[in-house]
Amino acid sequence: MIAAVILSGGSSSRMGSPKALLPYQGRLFLEHLLEVTRHPRIGVRRVVLGAHAEAIARAVALHPDEIVINEEWEKGQLSSLHAAMRSLPAGTDGLMVCLIDHPLISAALVDDLVQGFYASRAPIALPVFEGRRGHPVLFSAAVYEELEKAPMDVGARAVVWAHAKDVFEVGTTEEGCVLNLNDPETLERARGSSYQ
């Protein structure tokens, strides 16, 4: 069983409003990520909220068990991942880290990652678009302790770098996996294109 973790704890200062609540193709970013992470091998989901927790929880139908509040969201993304990890039940095979500013992924890509993760037994599986690594990233339970100990200023990337030779890369034609929608200009360009 895999846990899907959606990180949405930041202040969205560059965007000017909570990224989780931005609309794209008729759905909010968070609603889309919740939809594409419905998968037979994903048995647990956690949405980590911080700066705009109340507004997001009011706007999106989340099960109470899915919500994790990161009171220390100002410490950065890794603090939100740690909060999610502390909430997971024992026995997960891995966790898929989805970033709220990388919402343009499909259920098919999630499935490819899950299948590749189990087939390869690699410590990390991630998508690659035209030679560029993207999101979401699937971490094996074997590296949970390394994630817990990663430097706060570097974050989960430190674990990816430490296992550079062992990362299982899933080739994809979805440019959305490498698109970081963290400001209005980038979002408008994405809306004017068809990444999915």
pLDDT averaged per 10 residues, the chain (length 196): 93 70 85 95 95 88 91 90 95 96 93 97 97 96 96 92 95 91 71 56
Model pLDDT, residue 70: 93
Query: What's the confidence (pLDDT) of residue 180?
Result: 81
Contact criterion met (CB below 8 Å) for 4 and 96: yes
d(CA 172, CA 132) in angstroms, rounded, equals: 10
pLDDT per position as a tens digit, 5-14: 999 987 666 6
* 128 domain residue, yes or no: yes
Q: Is residue 196 part of a domain?
A: no
Q: pLDDT tens digit string along 69-116?
A: 999 888 888 999 999 999 999 999 999 999 998 889 999 999 999 999
Q: Residue 51: what pLDDT? A: 84
Q: Is residue 52 part of a domain?
A: yes
Which residue has tokens 């400001």? 183
Distant-in-sequence, close-in-space partners of 26: CB < 8 Å, separation ≥ 6: none
Domain contains 118: yes
* Residue 188: burial class (beta carbons within 10 Å; 0-12, 13-18, 19+): exposed
Number of domains in the chain: 1
The pLDDT assigned to 196 comes to: 46
Domain of 11, CATH number, reads: 3.90.550.10
Distance of CA 94 to the CA centre of its chain: 13
pLDDT at 13: 62
Query: How many CB atoms are closer than 10 A to CB 107?
Result: 13
Q: Half-sphere exposure of residue 167, counting CA atoms within 13 Å on the CB side?
A: 18
pLDDT at 157: 92
Amino acid occupying residue 35: E
Range of the domain at 114: 2-191
Residue whose entry in the numeric block shows the structure tokens 């410490």:
75
